[in-house]
Structure 1
Amino acid sequence: MLSALLLLAVPAAALPSRLDARAVSAASWTNRGCVQDGAARLLPTQLPDSNANTPDICVNACAAKGFRYAGVECESAAIAKLTADGRQCHCGNSLNPALGGKSSACTSPCAGNAGLKCGGAWAMNLYENPSAAGPKPVGCYADSASRVLPTRGANTNRVATCIADCKGRGQAYAGLENGSECWCGGSLPATTAPAAKCSVNCADGPCGGFWALSVYATGATAGPSTPVSSNAAAAAVVGAPNPAGGGGAKAVYAHFMVGNTYSYTGGDWTSNINAAKAAGLDGFALNLGTEDWQRARTKDAYTAAAAAGFKLFLSLDLNALPCASAADATTLAGYVAANARSPAQATRGGKVLVSTFAGQQCTFGQGSLDAGWAFFRTRVAAAGVNMFFVPAPFVDANSIGKRAWLDGAFNWNGAWPATGADLTTASDNTYLNSLGSKTYMAAVSPFFFTYYGPPPKQPGWNKNWLYRSDNWLLATRFEQLLSLRGRCDLLQLVSWNDYGESHYVGAIGKDVAFSGGWTTGFPHTALLSLVKYYAQAFRTGAYPQPQDKLWLWSRPHPRAATPTNPTNARPQHWDWTDDNLYVVVTLASPASVVINAGGNTATWNLPAGLSKLRIASAPGAIGARIVRGGKDAKSYNSNGQFSYTNTPKDYNYNYFVAEA
């Protein structure tokens, strides 16, 4: 810990050497347990290190200065070898929201009493003044799959964050479960559970247990009811979590397949760039493959982007580009250098931003992955480029931060769940914990379905699977990353134009890579205005003022349907998806929202702001209406454009997207 190194020479006069009878003791404060600290510091004020340090000494010193929190901690592992452990005392009136999770590393003895524990390396025994403590729970409640509080908030290990989240959703109660789950609602059961069930403590208060909720009043009046008028399977998530603060300059890019631009002219590039700018994107990550014409199209892209004030950077596609020899490193460095001085080149800290897709197999003739990529950096430098390298190699995320040749990492597979369950931020946290102070680029995506057959079918890529894209994946994923905004500065939307994997948000062009069978008639451009809503929140830390808008998306047939004339076998993971119509709505003021999937209909009374709705799919058209004062403020019906059917001709797990 650098701060410990700097303070070793400072006299320890700020800490008393012993306590008198009038002193405040640790036993008189609330013990919040062992929690995570970090370089950004959980508590902002560090007192000079002391060989007399104990929890009592530290709490007394922080109390004398009027602080709410006190924490004891040891030196870094390196310094601990040279001097006594447990010498640090930290104070503060608030907790850094990026830190404070549970830790089991508080094993170091205190410098002033070896029989007591004073934290560990980046671990703190935390104490809180009970007279200055935050809100108290109204009770402990047993939870179940049917949920005491029905609305899921953003994952957090902060009571205050969960309360603010639920209050922002207009809900009267906030509940913490299992130390990390936040739930919101407007009413509570009549019976509480034994307090012992809520045995988990967060840094700023009790936060539930296994199937147990520590419930707090938010101070908001009871939120609007959300009655379902028909179809009990319909569901709603009302409100969106507030973006976290902190971190550095933010940017949102979209992955762009240069391989799908063979017929592009300069005008095509300008059209796509203007659409991306209108959607609030900062630039494109240009996925570059092997063909010479791709480099020609890339040059055209930089020319168009420079004229439009738009940014670009290369994403070297190492599933296609060779990277086995030293000559390959020189070739790739030349690709990086070709447009690096363009005014359209994206930079980070004044350095040329470069990324990859894959690269875990690259050695560039140097005998190992790490040696190979270190050699590649020397070739880029020799080409006159000062590079900021944020690749996406598929290596162990727990160790990726130890690789000296990268300045950060892009978590490509973080955009979709790799199972039949909904996506969480687990992989994000693994990357963030491994990278430390290095840059994290997170992935966000709306869908994933690819339906290429095996050889000899054209093109013979044998990619035939889906990833679960349910429960408003695009919106839910953006909201997850907004909760990590203080630690994550770069987002990459996957993708702008990868039609083959169905996660495109740009207009479907002429070069569709043999994917017309599942993309024709399935536009996604309606998502661009929703992307803009979340991109602004990520970039600025605040959502735009909501307007009346509706976004709808649906697959065209049930997951278990049997087509009459299938092109390929049933896609892998077909059972990872559910048969629902998904709707996202933003309201300028409270209104009723009615959605329908065929004959299934549901109605909610919703507050201003954003809500996410779903209903089971059924044959027929899809539609939605915003009703205020007995009149439709906005409406959409897919008649003539899209119809859900139980008897398709071919498999298609792509989504039709529309907006009102």
Structure 2
Amino acid sequence: MLPLLLLFLVPATALPHLQTRAVSAASWNSLGCVKDGPGRLLPKQLADSQANTPDACVTACAAQGYRYAGVEYSAQCYCGNTLSQANGLGAGSNACTSKCSGNAGLTCGGSWVMNLYENPQVPKSLGCFADASNRVLPVRGNANTVSGCVADCKNRGQAYAGMENGNECWCGGSLPSTSADSSKCSSQCRDGACGGTWVISVYATGSSGGASPSSSPAPVTTPTQPAGSNPSSPVSANAPASAVIGTANPPSAGGAKAVYAHQMVGNAYSYAVSDWQTNINAAKGAGIDGFALNLGTENWQRARANDAYTAAASLGGFKLFLSLDLNSLPCASAADANTLAGYVAANARSPAQATRNGKVLVSTFAGQQCTFGQGNLDAGWTYFRQRLLAAGVDMFFVPAPFIDANSIGQRSWLDGAFNWNSAWPSAGAPIDTGSDNTYLNSLGSKSYMAAVSPFFFTYYAPPPASPGWNKNWIYRSDDWLLATRFEQLIAMRGKLDLVELISWNDYGESHYLGPEGKDIAFSGGWTTGFPHTALLSLVKYYAQAFKNGAYPAASDHVWLWSRPHPKAANPTNPTDSRPAHWEWTDDNLYVVVTLASPATVSINSGGNTATWNLPAGLSKLKIASAQGSIGAKIVRGNSVVKSYDSNGQFSYTNTPKDYNYNYFVAEA
């Protein structure tokens, strides 16, 4: 983290508006309409909200790791990991009749009844069991949450995981034989029951078991392959390594394609026009067509946005549009509609304003709660369009509201939709195009904007370490995420015209592509010394293919990225607990290489090495991480054409001081 003195040198208004990933209630299991009572079915009541919906409540409960979420009496949201035995009996669907305060078209419980939802990704407890000094689950795990312990024990080949004393993880192959009163397992982790004193909350891992107890998984070795036998297998390797060779030719497609980058104006407090010009030139050089300016509520953000338009207009060839951050900006009243319409109109006639079909391009982050005083979501956004037309602005609206994707195309007030969450996998598997296809099927002839991102990790501790922020999780960023995601969208370029990179400068969520900024409030502990700008030349390679329908001629180039420590490492001085979903990632060095002609390529992470004979074009390589520096080299004939060694800049370590799941990126 930043030194304490430096933290207070950042003006309070300059702190970024931190975004949380919205969750759809449809992705949780609906348990129907159930009875509540004075003892409360779910113990954690959040503040009443005039923006309450099932999605909003589920998102809030998911962010805190709870198993259950419930909406009640229109504006109430409850969370919990267990259900009270006194309540929860089915009330019948007719009992839940209250309209949600955030969307009158949805139902949010009623008087002493709630619509209840269960997170299918939170492990279910098998019960509370007695423990003893000889340990009913004999293998000590490395985790302090239920989901982390289950993943760690599964990784060890153990069928059962148990949490004890609130923070101890234990693994074993047999279910304990002596049950205990469930009330004795009173310690709670943020994602479930965590035992107590000599009692253990036990969970199934899904592993068939059979592995002998050990402190770590058995090592895996990859046999040496003869040269030319299989180009995706290394010629030589002393650690697990693999490759994906080549890329498919982009399909032909009509329509004007564009690649934008999400820019947090909230992280531009110190920017002058010259700073905007520097960032715009860097983005232009990467094949990026413009910035989506994420605009929050502070007055200075509008001044910085105006400076951005001034800078872009002075340079030419780079476009901007507003992405109204509706987790920050109010949108409940008619006056709010007039205010936001004024923000859009302020620069709508600038030569730097992005347009689509001759109309002013506008987007949002969120907005599913906005009614603008008109009674419901659809009427509210229709009213907003009317206010813009009254100001002389014809809008091409491509927002990112977190509403049911299957029905988003039915909304008459939007011209398309931005699928924000499509940038990352939703669990521990590689990214796919399932959500893209859902949006495309719903939107029909309307525009679809897809998301691309390199990484996601955020590590904001609870107060007082940060001003009320408690964001501590990762999304899977493996499998060459940036490259793989771009390749998916290039293959679909006949169906979509717009791509938005997340992000240019959201440092706190670790998916920044631009240069490290001046305003990195409270995120310096995991961003300082972790540049991502080396990816910009890779972005250019893919952006050209998306826009032009052909990959550029390949030159000899190598990109490398690695996390700084094993996913299950135990830091010596952590500032917060291990991030949620840490088990979703893998311990690998990822490399992308382009070759002008066939060559031999070697990569290394510490003492782990692998070498391939590769054809011309692009290949994606990986090898298991090991302690030490990372490196790569291209050899053609007897000459080293390109090489990189991170010695002095970056070293992978098994004993970090603090958690950091951000990536160090370099290029040769």
Place the TM-score, normalised by the shorter chain, in its bin.
0.5 to 0.7
Paired residues in the alignment total: 440
Measure, in 1, the Cα distance between the counterparts of 2:389 and 2:229. Answer: 60
Q: How does 1:120-135 map to 2 (within 5 A)?
A: none
Q: Does 1:598 align with 2:606?
A: yes
Superposed displacement of residue 367, structure 1 = 1.0
Residue equivalent to 2:574? 566
Deviations, residues 476-522 of structure 1 (Å, cap 9, x unaligned): 00000001100010000000000010000000011012110100000
| Contact 1:533-1:543 at 8 Å conserved across structures | yes
Residue equivalent to 1:635? 643
Quick one: which amino acid aligns to residue 435 of structure 2?
A: S
Residue equivalent to 1:501? 509
Residue equivalent to 2:247? 240
Residue equivalent to 2:283? 276
If the length of structure 2 is used for normalisation, what is the TM-score?
Answer: 0.65
Q: Does 1:464 align with 2:472?
A: yes
Measure, in 2, the Cα distance between the counterparts of 1:649 and 1:223. Answer: 41
Q: How does 1:392-403 map to 2 (within 5 A)?
A: 392-403=400-411
Q: How does 1:205-224 map to 2 (within 5 A)?
A: 224=231
Residue equivalent to 2:313? 306
Which of these residues, 436, 450, 458, is aligned with residue 442 of structure 1?
450
| Contact 1:408-1:441 at 8 Å conserved across structures | yes
Residue equivalent to 1:215? none
Measure, in 1, the Cα distance between the counterparts of 2:489 and 2:536. Answer: 18
Q: How does 1:20-99 map to 2 (within 5 A)?
A: none
Measure, in 1, the Cα distance between the counterparts of 2:252 and 2:451. Answer: 19
Which of these residues, 597, 608, 633, is aligned with residue 616 of structure 2?
608
Give the SS at the match of 2:393.
coil
Deviations, residues 152-204 of structure 1 (Å, cap 9, x unaligned): xxxxxxxxxxxxxxxxxxxxxxxxxxxxxxxxxxxxxxxxxxxxxxxxxxxxx
Quick one: which amino acid aligns to residue 230 of structure 1?
A: A
Residue equivalent to 1:649? 657
Quick one: which amino acid aligns to residue 267 of structure 2?
A: N
Residue equivalent to 1:428? 436
Superposed displacement of residue 656, structure 1 = 0.1
Residue equivalent to 2:176? none
Residue equivalent to 2:62? none
| Contact 1:353-1:387 at 8 Å conserved across structures | yes
Deviations, residues 401-437 of structure 1 (Å, cap 9, x unaligned): 0000000000000000110111100000000000000
Quick one: which amino acid aligns to residue 422 of structure 1?
A: P
Superposed displacement of residue 224, structure 1 = 4.7
Deviations, residues 499-547 of structure 1 (Å, cap 9, x unaligned): 0100000000110121101000000000000000000000100000000
| Contact 2:313-2:350 at 8 Å conserved across structures | yes
Residue equivalent to 1:414? 422
Residue equivalent to 1:97? none
| Contact 2:462-2:469 at 8 Å conserved across structures | yes
| Contact 2:231-2:245 at 8 Å conserved across structures | no
If the length of structure 1 is used for normalisation, what is the TM-score?
Answer: 0.66
Residue equivalent to 2:361? 353
| Contact 2:290-2:320 at 8 Å conserved across structures | yes
For residues 566 and 222 of structure 1, do their structure 2 counterparts lie closer, same or farther at Cα, with a shift above 3 Å needed? closer
Measure, in 2, the Cα distance between the counterparts of 1:227 and 1:254. Answer: 36
Measure, in 2, the Cα distance between the counterparts of 1:232 and 1:261. Answer: 43
Quick one: which amino acid aligns to residue 665 of structure 2?
A: V
Quick one: which amino acid aligns to residue 538 of structure 1?
A: F
Measure, in 2, the Cα distance between the counterparts of 1:445 and 1:308. Answer: 26
Give the SS at the match of 2:490.
helix
Quick one: which amino acid aligns to residue 516 of structure 1?
A: G
Measure, in 1, the Cα distance between the counterparts of 2:232 and 2:565. Answer: 32
Q: Does 1:324 align with 2:332?
A: yes
Quick one: which amino acid aligns to residue 648 of structure 2?
A: G
| Contact 1:228-1:234 at 8 Å conserved across structures | no
Residue equivalent to 1:369? 377
| Contact 1:257-1:286 at 8 Å conserved across structures | yes
Residue equivalent to 2:269? 262
Quick one: which amino acid aligns to residue 272 of structure 2?
A: T
Superposed displacement of residue 225, structure 1 = 6.7
Measure, in 1, the Cα distance between the counterparts of 2:664 and 2:638. Answer: 29
Deviations, residues 290-323 of structure 1 (Å, cap 9, x unaligned): 0110000000000000111110000000000000
Superposed displacement of residue 230, structure 1 = 1.4
Q: Does 1:625 align with 2:633?
A: yes
For residues 400 and 236 of structure 1, do their structure 2 counterparts lie closer, same or farther at Cα, with a shift above 3 Å needed? same
Q: Percent identity?
A: 80
Superposed displacement of residue 276, structure 1 = 0.3
Quick one: which amino acid aligns to residue 658 of structure 1?
A: A
Residue equivalent to 2:487? 479
Give the SS at the match of 2:322.
strand
Q: How does 1:521-560 map to 2 (within 5 A)?
A: 521-560=529-568
Give the SS at the match of 1:447.
coil
Measure, in 2, the Cα distance between the counterparts of 1:335 and 1:367. Answer: 23
Superposed displacement of residue 451, structure 1 = 0.4
Measure, in 2, the Cα distance between the counterparts of 1:401 and 1:523. Answer: 38
Higher relative contact order (CA 8 A, sep 6+): 2
| Contact 1:226-1:605 at 8 Å conserved across structures | no
| Contact 2:514-2:532 at 8 Å conserved across structures | yes
Give the SS at the match of 1:398.
coil
Q: Which residues of structure 2 form unaligned runs of 5+?
A: 1-227
Give the SS at the match of 2:323.
strand
Larger radius of gyration: 1
Measure, in 1, the Cα distance between the counterparts of 2:426 and 2:238. Answer: 30
Measure, in 1, the Cα distance between the counterparts of 2:368 and 2:266. Answer: 22
Measured on the aligned residues, the alpha-carbon RMSD in Å equals 1.1
Superposed displacement of residue 223, structure 1 = 7.5
| Contact 1:592-1:604 at 8 Å conserved across structures | yes
| Contact 2:515-2:533 at 8 Å conserved across structures | yes
Superposed displacement of residue 233, structure 1 = 1.7
Quick one: which amino acid aligns to residue 488 of structure 2?
A: Q
| Contact 2:269-2:301 at 8 Å conserved across structures | yes
Residue equivalent to 1:44? none
Measure, in 1, the Cα distance between the counterparts of 2:361 and 2:464. Answer: 39
Residue equivalent to 1:47? none
Q: Which residues of structure 1 form unaligned runs of 5+?
A: 1-220
Measure, in 2, the Cα distance between the counterparts of 1:508 and 1:353. Answer: 28
Deviations, residues 111-131 of structure 1 (Å, cap 9, x unaligned): xxxxxxxxxxxxxxxxxxxxx
Measure, in 1, the Cα distance between the counterparts of 2:578 and 2:338. Answer: 43
| Contact 1:231-1:615 at 8 Å conserved across structures | no
| Contact 1:247-1:488 at 8 Å conserved across structures | no
Superposed displacement of residue 243, structure 1 = 1.2
Measure, in 1, the Cα distance between the counterparts of 2:238 and 2:439. Answer: 41
Which of these residues, 230, 252, 258, is aligned with residue 259 of structure 2?
252
Quick one: which amino acid aligns to residue 593 of structure 1?
A: V
Which of these residues, 521, 527, 540, is aligned with residue 519 of structure 1?
527
For residues 565 and 232 of structure 1, do their structure 2 counterparts lie closer, same or farther at Cα, with a shift above 3 Å needed? closer
Measure, in 2, the Cα distance between the counterparts of 1:452 and 1:509. Answer: 18
